[in-house]
Amino acid sequence: MLDKSIPYFNIVMHRKPDIAIPHYSIPEGYSIVNFSKGDENSWVEIETSVGEFDSISDSLEYFENNYLSFPEEVERRTIFIHSKHGEKVGTCTSWWNYTGIRRDLALEWIAVKPEYQGLGLGKVLVYEGIKRMIDIEGNRDIFLHTQTWSYRAVGIYLKAGFEFLKTGTFSRYDNDYEKAIPYIKEKLKI
């Protein structure tokens, strides 16, 4: 879940090529599956459950506007974690954004339903998302946008080789590094 008890500030992170990808094994009984037609409802459910969207309709509108116009890409770039009971409980998308005319790679919408958090599934999603991005796009720079409300996830991103981008950004994101970092340091004890 997002921790909305602290102020919201944008955080932009960057992962350079050729950094070793930490491997995290998926817990027994869970599996990684690709997006297939109709899975937008599972994506919407997961992202809304963690507080990324205020409503199912807002979440679905976002997904339809940003991903469904690229059906083949969303199928190979969006993954889910299936629980032991076949429920989709986590997701990650290895996508791209444009910064002017520059096409930047980005891990997006990494989320695990609250009742499944703390099992290491977020680490698995980040590992698999990076691996998938490299398989599709080659070993290139990867960006990530997050926020102070997701400070627990920031710790996972740091362990996966992402670094804070102190200045600059990608796509349309603001970078509030100076405002965000005191909260991140306090929460993560870094």
Name the residue type at position 136.
I
Residues 66-81 pLDDT 10s: 999 999 999 999 999 9
For 33, how many CA atoms within 13 A lie in the half-sphere containing its CB? 18
Cβ burial 23-32 (10 Å sphere, 16+ → b, else e): ebebeeebeb
pLDDT digits (tens, 9 = 90+) for 115-153: 999 999 999 999 999 999 999 999 999 999 999 999 999
- Residue ranges and CATH numbers for the domains of the chain are 10-188 (3.40.630.30)
Provide the pairing of β-strand 78-82 with 102-112: unpaired
pLDDT of the chain, 190 residues: tens digit per residue: 799 999 999 999 999 999 998 889 999 999 999 999 999 999 999 999 999 999 999 999 999 999 999 999 999 999 999 999 999 999 999 999 999 999 999 999 999 999 999 999 999 999 999 999 999 999 999 999 999 999 999 999 999 999 999 999 999 999 999 999 999 999 999 8
List residues bridging with 15 in a β-sheet. Answer: 142
Residue bearing tokens 């491997």: 23
Report strand pairing: 102-112 vs 142-147.
parallel
Alpha-carbon separation of residue 149 from 74, 90, 111, 146 (angstroms): 26, 18, 13, 8
Closest CA to 149 of 47, 9, 49, 14: 9
Chain-centroid distance of CA 135 in Å reads: 17
- This prediction has a pTM of 0.95
The pLDDT value recorded for residue 190 is 87
